[in-house]
């Protein structure tokens, strides 16, 4: 009986997933750059207040809550949006804490979609799209799935941090890298001592 050698499957290049992540990061960097312009801060509150118009009555308390929360401190929230988008862009480009970044960005994108974009509505005659932020959330979910199936990214800061700090994979990876499993300490089993026979 002859042993069959395992079939070698061709390895796919890993750079396309990093190129996708970096390109998406550049898009976020451009978007963040626009948020630092004075025009965004000056029109921030009027945009939020305008979203409430035309929404169904059962949604108006949601938008009223966000308007009342942000109205007394408009500049704080305008700068907060700019800072968060800048941090997401930098983390995407350099590949820092990818799992944490993707999950945080999904939450942030859905929050923007549910407030500043008004859930993409109101859905009346002439409505043409559902908003961009929800699409961003789907892209981040896709990056999260790619991270799960493809594992560690060599073209990222995470790759080097994981080598220096093994616990870093909790922030960067969806599952424990094989290298971390191989480096995990193995509990030594004490040797079994044979009973000594006395004459």
pTM of the model: 0.79
Residue 45 has pLDDT above 70, yes or no: yes
Spatial contact of 130 and 96, defined as CB atoms under 8 Å apart: no
Residue 151 CB neighbour total at 10 angstroms? 16
Residue-wise pLDDT tens digits, 132-191: 899 999 999 999 999 888 878 888 999 999 999 999 999 989 878 765 444 444 444 555
Q: Which distant-in-sequence residues (6+ apart) come within 8 Å of 38 by Cβ?
A: none
Whether the Cβ atoms of residue 32 and residue 86 lie closer than 8 Å to each other: yes
DSSP 126: T
Q: Is the Cβ–Cβ distance between 176 and 169 less than 8 Å?
A: yes
**Structural domain boundaries of the chain?**
15-122+129-180
């Amino acid at each position: 009986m002859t042993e069959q050698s395992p079939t070698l499957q061709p390895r796919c290049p890993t750079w396309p997933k990093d190129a996708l992540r970096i390109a998406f990061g550049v898009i976020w960097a451009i978007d963040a750059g626009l948020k630092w312009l004075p025009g965004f801060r000056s029109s921030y509150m009027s945009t939020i207040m305008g979203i409430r118009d035309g929404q169904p009555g059962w949604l108006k308390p949601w938008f009223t809550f966000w308007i009342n929360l942000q109205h007394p401190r408009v500049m704080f929230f305008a700068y907060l949006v700019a800072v968060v988008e800048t941090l997401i862009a930098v983390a995407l480009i350099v590949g820092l804490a990818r799992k944490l970044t993707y999950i945080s960005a999904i939450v942030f994108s859905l929050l923007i979609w549910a407030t500043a974009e008004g859930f993409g509505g109101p859905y009346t005659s002439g409505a043409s799209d559902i908003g961009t932020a929800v699409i961003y959330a789907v892209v981040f979910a896709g990056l999260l799935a790619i991270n799960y199936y493809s594992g560690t990214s060599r073209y990222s800061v995470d790759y080097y941090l994981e080598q220096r700090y093994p616990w870093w994979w909790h922030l960067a990876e969806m599952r424990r890298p094989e290298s971390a499993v191989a480096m995990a300490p193995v509990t030594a089993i004490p040797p079994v001592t044979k009973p000594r026979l006395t004459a």
